[in-house]
Amino acid sequence: MAFPTDGSRALKAYGLPTNVLVDYMLLAAPCSVIRQVTVDVLDILDKAASTSSAQTRLAFTGKSGCGKSYLLLQAVQYAVQKDWITLYIPRAINLVNSSTPYVYDPRTQTYGQPAFAQQLLKRFADVNEALIKDMKVQGSYPFEERTIDSTSTLTDLINVGLEYSQQAPTVLNTLLSELAQQTKAPVLLAIDDFQALYNMSLYRDPYYKPVKAYHLSLPRTLLEFASGKQAFKRGAVLGALSMQNTTFRPPLELVEALGLEPAQPSGPYVPREKDLVEYAQGLKNFPVPDQLTVDEAASIFDVWHSAKALHIPRGDETFLSKFTESGGNAREFVKKALLQTVAL
């Protein structure tokens, strides 16, 4: 099913996870298949529109390639269509893999990432312009260059961050706390590569010790919303774990909080970080099924054939044999069975 073209401004603005992006470069129009889990997530979002985000904090889990990123994308698209305020971070790994500059802020005693924050503010403004147009700031924030008080709008606050990159991290945190207090529109915070926020980052402090992810300003804020320490009055927090990157694997604290089977030693003598346990507390596991159903896989097969992107015959025998080879796994089905096959 194709995404509606007017809603895809969120896709264009925020960007896409890497694995999804490759698909969309091959297909003419971005689309995804509606599954039972999609319907379930959209139902949950509908219910969460009127409740605090502390009550709806989901983490999508499942095998590698089962469709967690796509599901999150579908949820973000739905929220945008339903006039939610959305903040979507498609690649949270970029927050912790030392790919953006970082600056220590002595006031908050955390490391801010000004470039990333500035870019995120710009994207947020692009997508949610119409919704935050008339929202007034509820607190008072004296910045060096300008003071933001109750006469200014959220747009003015964002502009401070856009103009002065050194203020961008603070502006972003302030923006999120402002959004937490308003009740005009529900807020969706969607993070892909969610487990990266619970790991050790690749940044180093002046003593060359690794910096923990929750000592970085933006990840810390995201973790606070994810753990319920801060909450939107109306909204939800959705995170999708990514099993592909082995540098940033889900740590034991997150795995136990979600009730998954630990792949690492998990006895009573293995230390668990208290902070991480707190940040993972209250997250609900939303498992995504490993296998596509035959109908869903057939829809994907149809879409790819209609886009004239495949070199294999369009027949039920081919389809079923490719489905068997991939074992129903969505990524294996598209990437390996359909695109990399030579057995016609």
Partner 1 sequence: MNIARHVAWSAVRSRAYATAAYVPPASLEGLQRGRAPPPKPKPESPTFYTGRANYYDQLLVLENATKHTRTALQELQLLPLPKFARENLPPLRAVWKNKVDLAELMDANLTTSRYRRFLAQLNQLNDYRRLAEVAGHIELAQRVQRVLDIFERDNKEAILARGKRKPVKFDEFGRSYTIGRRKESTARVWVIPTQPSPEDQLASSSSAPLQAAASSAPAASTQAVGISGFTEGPLSFAPAPVKVTTTNILVNNIPLAEYFPHVSDRERIVRPFRIAGLVGAFNVFALVRGGGSTGQSGALCLGIAKALAAHVPDSEPLLRKAKLLKRDPRMVERKKTGRAKARKAYTWVKR
Residue ranges in contact with partner 1 by CB under 8 A: 1, 33-34, 294-296, 298-299, 301-302, 305, 314-321, 323-329, 332, 336-337, 340-343
Give the other-Cβ count within 10 Å of 209's Cβ.
10
Nearer to partner 1, 272 or 336 (CB): 336
Closest to 74 measured CA to CA, from 129, 33, 26: 33
Q: What's the min distance (Å) between Cβ of 334 and partner 1?
A: 12
User: At its nearest, how many Å lie between partner 1 and the CB of residue 219?
Assistant: 31
What are the residue ranges of helices labelled H in 185-315? 217-227, 252-258, 274-279, 294-306
Cα separation, 19 vs 41, in Å, equals 21
Q: Which residues contact 197 (CB under 8 A, 6 or more apart)?
A: 92, 95, 96, 191, 213, 214, 219, 222, 223, 226
User: Considering beta carbons, is residue 78 or 319 the nearer one to partner 1?
Assistant: 319
**Closer by beta carbon to partner 1, 270 or else 294:** 294
Residues 182, 183, 189: CA angle, nearest 5 degrees: 75
| CB of residue 333 to partner 1, shortest distance in Å | 9
Of 164, 141, 160, 161, residue with least CA distance to 151? 141
| Residue whose CB is less far from partner 1, 141 or 333 | 333
CB of 329 to partner 1, least distance (A): 5
Nearer to partner 1, 214 or 323 (CB): 323
For the bound state, the minimum distance from the C-beta of residue 302 to partner 1, rounded and expressed in Å, comes to 4
